[in-house]
Amino acid sequence: MPEIKDAVALITDPSYVSPKHVGGEEQFAVNTKRVIRALRDQGAGKAEARELGLKALEEVGGGAEIRAVRGAQAAGGRGDSNTEDWWVPKAAVRF
């Protein structure tokens, strides 16, 4: 079963992040799906993997942003969804 230190290792790994252009502070976007998949592969459930990731973000000074996304409406669908973007500060990434 993965622990917070495992999630921290993933969200600070350069292969799981990409530069994010925001204002003055240099931030890196975390590939949330890959991190959650890696934690699930280590034995965590979906909710546990997300919770570990969020705790790891807090530990390294990162954050998560939830935003509404409007897309094409699928048959029987609403056409609206939420997306969660995780980010970490440049200083947290292990280059």
**pLDDT tens readout for residues 16-36:** 999 987 777 789 999 999 999
Prediction pTM value: 0.84
Total domains in the fold of the chain = 1
Q: Which domain holds residue 26?
A: 4-92
* Helix, strand, coil percentages in the chain from 3-state DSSP, rounded to 5: 40, 25, 30
What does the block give as tokens for 6?
Answer: 């495992």
Pairing mode, strands 27-30 and 63-70: unpaired
Using CA atoms, how far apart are residues 44 and 18, in angstroms rounded to an integer?
A: 24
- DSSP 8-state class, residue 76: T
Residue 56 is which amino acid?
A
Q: Residue written as tokens 């252009």?
A: 21
Name the pLDDT band for 67 (thresholds 50, 70, 90): confident
* pLDDT the model gives residue 20: 87
